[in-house]
Amino acid sequence: MKLLDRFIRGDLLGIHFAVNVFIATSLLWLILRKAADLNPIWAISSMVAASDPLVQQAIKTFRGRMINAALGCATGLLFLSMGGSGQWKLPLALAVTVLLSTYVVRVQVMWRQAPITAAIVIASAWDHQSRVTALETGLRRVGEVMLGCLVGVAVSWAMSKIWPTPPPPAAPKPAT
């Protein structure tokens, strides 16, 4: 037991995080793989980024991811619906998305999510001949990402009620 205590140094945040990720991954696997016959990897990767043993941090990350993912989805769909030169849309769409995210939306928490989501939407067109099929695939991927975020923050919140994290240790008082 001394070895474990020495290893974690009284800090259980890593264990809290591991439990949250285990539960949320299991939920997403059951929902997407077993119930909907979809690959859950997009949702799982998004869930990991939105999870945190400190529920306030998870909520901030969730909010930033959702706002920026919506922006990236809208920008990606706009560029995808314009037609024209396929793969050259990606650099332009990502640059426009970054500018919108940083100067218009201004939600800095997870602002990288906006161009990532735009890339997911636009890249979905490369695997499909039909623009409608590409739009469907892009929207489904974004839905999976948002579901992952939702599950991540929900599990973080639920676990904070079931197994609260201890308050951070008080800073040592300076000697006078």
119 falls within a domain = yes
Number of domains forming the structure of the chain: 1
1 falls within a domain = no
17 falls within a domain = yes
Instruction: Note whether 116 and 146 are within 8 A (CB).
Output: no
pTM, full prediction: 0.81
**pLDDT values of the chain reduced to their tens digit, one per residue, 176 residues:** 676 666 666 678 888 899 999 999 999 999 999 889 999 998 999 899 889 999 999 999 999 989 999 999 999 989 888 865 466 789 999 999 999 999 999 988 888 999 998 998 888 777 766 777 777 888 888 899 899 999 999 999 999 999 998 776 666 677 76
Domain range for 140 is 9-162
Give the DSSP H/E element, type plus range, for residue 75. helix 55-81
Q: How many other C-beta atoms are found inside a 10 Å radius of the C-beta of residue 23? A: 17
Instruction: Note whether 94 and 115 are within 8 A (CB).
Output: yes
